[in-house]
Amino acid sequence: MRKDFLVFGQPLIEQAEKDELLDSMDKAWLGTGPKVHQFEMDFAKYKQIDYAAAVNSCTAALHLACLSLGLEAGDEIITTPMTFCSTINAIIHAGAKPVLADIDPVTLNIDAAEIGEKITSRTRAVIVVHFAGRPCDMDAVMALAKSHNLAVIEDCAHAIETEYKGNKAGTIGDLGCFSFYATKNITTGEGGMIISRNERKISRIKIMALHGLSHDAWERYSDSGYKHYYVEEAGFKYNMMDLQAAIGIHQLRRIDAYWERRQKIWNRYMGDLKDLNIGLPAVAEKDTRHAYHLFTIRIDPDKVGISRDNFLEAMTERNIGVGVHYLSIPEHPYYRKRFSWRSEDFPHSYAVGRETVSLPISPKLTDRDVEDVIVAVRDIILKNQD
Ligand SMILES: *Cc1c(COP(=O)(O)O)cnc(C)c1O
């Protein structure tokens, strides 16, 4: 058994990030400044889009994206029950009502037919989540959006590298939201980005991300003389710091190398676990690029003789960190109480949420780490299988 605990989702931080951080420290410019501006431009270039706004999390990005739709009380936004809570919270904080549409049990992405069932006269938008980095069925989603005049927000927290039929995730709908949280494909510790083809939307989002001020702090303290700022709206404190962008600029430069490393790990897991009685992720569809953010297996206790939660415990005992993405949204007491949701009404999300386990898949993993994960999974499953 391995001696040290393998932390789930650890990022790979290299020398260039450390040097860039020290540079910010030496210049004593820590807050929003030139590095944030550079990171926005680099990210927009990577996504082949004109406008990007850096913020301090994907949660902030989703909140501002929802606010940018100009919602009214009673408006509804449809999204998936197989997501992180912040997708739902962003809708709530924007003053809208979240409505859930179940997933396709194979792709784990929101099912467009289910979206169709949930559209009412109050529906204003859909938030899709490209789960694990696998693109949603965007042709079907965009067709529905067009025929019902709905906005589409893409929650790309798993999907920085994702592509769908030649289009980059986050550029297909109206707004794309990204996360640079510590466990995501590239990181700034905490951080997020919003992209759009709509210049006015991004410029309003930038104002809303910094108190609703007319000028950002960088311009305010420039050497071209003091500028008064004016509050145009009651905004938020969602700006990204140069300290965060310093890390992100260099992480972004290695995005393809990291993707290739995760693809290798993914393929290794697929090959070395395929004879076991567990569910493996569906293979990436043709004409798409999977971002390989999560490698999720399914533990059906009837097939393998061990419950999912006992499997999680057994992995942890073997010093392997694992994750659960996610318990379905209606399992959380707050949402159940507030929206009267029942898990059974979203049977595919419910079943996945009860059986899924995420194995480590990060560029920081050595071949030895990957081997340790495989040995641990095989050992636990084979011991219980018969
Ligand atoms: C991580 C995540 C978020 C939130 O990202 P933060 O940057 O931590 O706010 C939102 N949606 C999904 C699907 C995520 O995985």
The response to whether residue 192 sits with its C-beta less than 6 Å from ligand 1 reads yes
Residue pair 253/45 in contact (Cβ under 8 Å)? The answer is no
- Residue 154: which region, alpha, beta or left (left: phi > 0; alpha: psi -120 to 50)? beta
What values do phi and psi take at 300, rounded to 5?
Answer: -95, 110
**Nearest C-alpha to atom 14 of ligand 1 is from which residue?**
157
Q: Please give the Cα distance from 324 to 356 (Å, whole number).
A: 6
Q: Ligand 1, residues 8, 55, 56, 84: which to mutate, most atoms within 8 A of Cβ?
A: 84
Listed residue (24, 8, 19) closest to 250, CA to CA: 19
The response to whether residue 308 sits with its C-beta less than 6 Å from ligand 1 reads no
The response to whether residue 83 sits with its C-beta less than 6 Å from ligand 1 reads yes
Q: Ligand 1, residues 85, 86, 153: which to mutate, most atoms within 8 A of Cβ?
A: 86
Domain 255-385 in CATH 3.40.50.10320? The answer is: no
Q: Please give the Cα distance from 304 to 327 (Å, whole number).
A: 20
pLDDT (0 to 100) of residue 3: 93
Q: Please give the Cα distance from 290 to 263 (Å, whole number).
A: 9
The response to whether residue 155 sits with its C-beta less than 6 Å from ligand 1 reads yes
Residue spans per domain, the chain: 15-253, 255-385
Domain 15-253 in CATH 3.40.640.10? The answer is: yes
Written as tens digits, the pLDDT of the chain (386 aa) is 899 999 999 999 999 999 999 999 999 999 999 999 999 999 999 999 999 999 999 999 999 999 999 999 999 999 999 999 999 999 999 999 999 999 999 999 999 999 999 999 999 999 999 999 999 999 999 999 999 999 999 999 999 999 999 999 999 999 999 999 999 999 999 999 999 999 999 999 999 999 999 865 556 666 777 878 899 999 999 999 999 999 999 999 999 999 999 999 999 999 999 999 999 999 989 999 999 999 999 999 999 999 999 999 999 999 999 999 999 999 999 999 999 999 999 999 999 999 999 999 999 999 999 999 999 999 999 998 76
pLDDT (0 to 100) of residue 309: 98
Q: What is the number of the ligand 1 atom nearest to the C-alpha of 131? A: 13
Residue pair 144/117 in contact (Cβ under 8 Å)? The answer is no
The response to whether residue 84 sits with its C-beta less than 6 Å from ligand 1 reads yes
> Separation of 111 CA from ligand 1 center, angstroms?
20
Q: Ligand 1, residues 8, 56, 57, 59: which to mutate, most atoms within 8 A of Cβ?
A: 59
The response to whether residue 356 sits with its C-beta less than 6 Å from ligand 1 reads no
pLDDT (0 to 100) of residue 375: 98
The response to whether residue 154 sits with its C-beta less than 6 Å from ligand 1 reads no
Q: For the whole model, what pTM was predicted?
A: 0.97
pLDDT (0 to 100) of residue 226: 82
Q: What is the number of the ligand 1 atom nearest to the C-alpha of 62? A: 10
Listed residue (163, 111, 166) closest to 137, CA to CA: 111
Q: Please give the Cα distance from 160 to 56 (Å, whole number).
A: 16
> Separation of 55 CA from ligand 1 center, angstroms?
13
pLDDT (0 to 100) of residue 218: 55
Query: Are domains 15-253 and 255-385 of this chain identical in fold?
Result: no
Q: Which residues are catalytic?
A: 184
Residue pair 141/115 in contact (Cβ under 8 Å)? The answer is yes
> Separation of 156 CA from ligand 1 center, angstroms?
8
The response to whether residue 185 sits with its C-beta less than 6 Å from ligand 1 reads no
Residue pair 218/34 in contact (Cβ under 8 Å)? The answer is yes
Q: Which helix (H) or strand (E) holds 79?
A: strand 76-79
Q: Please give the Cα distance from 370 to 368 (Å, whole number).
A: 5
Listed residue (132, 189, 188, 185) closest to 364, CA to CA: 185
